[in-house]
Amino acid sequence: MKRKTLTLDAIDRRIVAVLRGEGRITNQALSERVGLSARPCLERVRKLEASGLIRGYGARLAPELAGHAIVAFAQISLRDHSVGRRERVEKVLKSCPDVIEVQVVSGEADYLARIVAGSLADYEELTGAWLADAQLGVARIATSFALKALKEFEGYPLGEE
């Protein structure tokens, strides 16, 4: 089922563009930047939030300064794909604070996870525990370690109309 894309006018697009770069901007400053008075600007922002397009606001942290020397991309494959097995694995992945993103993917792996760790030993301990847990049924974890970020994820681009 394809999800319907939200229809935005030029002002909504300017609001989103400004908020993506400056999430802490005041409503007054935002309204001046997009050419609206403060009240209608606030109403548009609230409408964009209520629609689910704007999911929230937050600070982007430097992983190394936050104590994460390791950023890894792990392709996780399961032995069997029963509903119960998947639910257990997904619960573990979602509840682990070091797993900062998980996607269910197609292809050889079942999941692609972005994982942070303080050291290689910490990463090995975490993934080793998953492999050793027979209840999870993880067959394989293929890992690529980030050496240098050329471009950080800063949010999804707004598609063209």
Segment 111-139, tens digit of pLDDT: 999 999 999 999 999 999 999 999 999 99
β partners of residue 144: 73
Instruction: Give the count of domains, the chain.
Output: 2
Cα separation, 136 vs 27, in Å, equals: 47
Q: Is residue 78 part of a domain?
A: yes
| Short-list 48, 49, 46, 27, CA closest to 36 | 27
Q: What is the pTM of this model?
A: 0.83
The domain in which residue 42 lies consists of 10-51
Q: Are residues 75 and 130 in the same domain?
A: yes
Q: Are residues 86 and 41 in the same domain?
A: no
Q: Is residue 159 part of a domain?
A: no
Q: What is the pLDDT of residues 61-101, one digit of tens each?
A: 889 999 999 999 999 999 999 999 999 999 999 999 999 99
Q: Are residues 42 and 75 in the same domain?
A: no
Q: Are residues 46 and 83 in the same domain?
A: no
β partners of residue 145: 72
Tokens 């690529």 — which residue?
144
Domain of residue 15, CATH code: 1.10.10.10
54 touches 19 (CB < 8 A): yes
Residue 21 has pLDDT above 60, yes or no: yes
Domain of residue 123, CATH code: 3.30.70.920
Q: Is residue 75 part of a domain?
A: yes
Q: Are residues 47 and 86 in the same domain?
A: no
Q: Is residue 155 part of a domain?
A: no
Residue 30 has pLDDT above 80, yes or no: yes
Q: Is residue 88 part of a domain?
A: yes
Q: Are residues 129 and 76 in the same domain?
A: yes
Q: Is residue 15 part of a domain?
A: yes
- Count the neighbouring beta carbons within 10 Å of the beta carbon of residue 59: 6
